[in-house]
Amino acid sequence: MYKLAAAFVLLASPALATGLQIEIEGEGANGTVTVDLFEDLAPKHVEQISTLAAEGKYDGVVFHRVIDGFMAQTGDVEFGRIGGDMRRAGTGGSDRPDLPAEFSDFNYDRGVVGMARAQDPDSANSQFFIMFEPGPFLNGQYTVVGQVTDGMDVVDMIKRGDGPNGAVIGQPDVMKTVTVTE
């Protein structure tokens, strides 16, 4: 009986997810983005974002930092909710612990999804970014968690931020819902 229950828990676990489906809406982007998650490259990071997505924590979270020709960052489940104080967006994480780096030799090309972090390589938590263009200077410095497989046209339309930090002014685009796919 215990083995059966343990097997069911493993089968139901978000860690076995293979991807995310992100519904984006806003002034810039409206549509669906599909992400293939790389459990083999970053199992702890994939488990963390899959769990947060399965719990609905990413629903209603904005793209707070968007730099044209570089990337769109989102995933601040603490301070990045639509309707919140956008001045704090990008400074928070989740109620889960920060993660140790899982660096790989996978290149940061267009459509690659990586985990955002502070100066400490072991500080990634819930925030992630999607590359608009290749960023080879990130290779081996940030954990790669996946790749957009459909919807890069939607990603390309995400409302851009201003200035060198890419902070989005006014109403940012939002991840309306984020669903774990298998």
Top pLDDT among 70 and 4 is at: 70
pLDDT tens for each residue of 10-28: 444 444 458 999 999 999 9
* Residue among 77, 69, 72, 70 nearest 33 (CA): 72
pTM of the predicted structure, to 2 decimals: 0.90
- Quick: pLDDT tens for 108-134: 999 999 999 999 999 999 999 999 999
- The pLDDT assigned to 1 comes to 41
Return contacts of 43-48, CB within 8 angstroms, 24+ apart: 43/15, 43/102, 44/99, 44/100, 44/102, 45/99, 45/102, 45/115, 45/124, 45/143, 45/145, 46/15, 46/17, 46/145, 46/146, 47/13, 47/14, 47/15, 48/94, 48/96, 48/99, 48/125, 48/126
Domains and CATH numbers, the chain: 19-172+175-179 (2.40.100.10)
In this structure, are residues 45 and 81 in contact, taking their beta carbons and an 8 Å threshold?
no
Express each pLDDT in 43-102 by its tens digit: 999 999 999 999 999 999 999 999 999 999 999 999 999 888 888 999 999 999 999 999
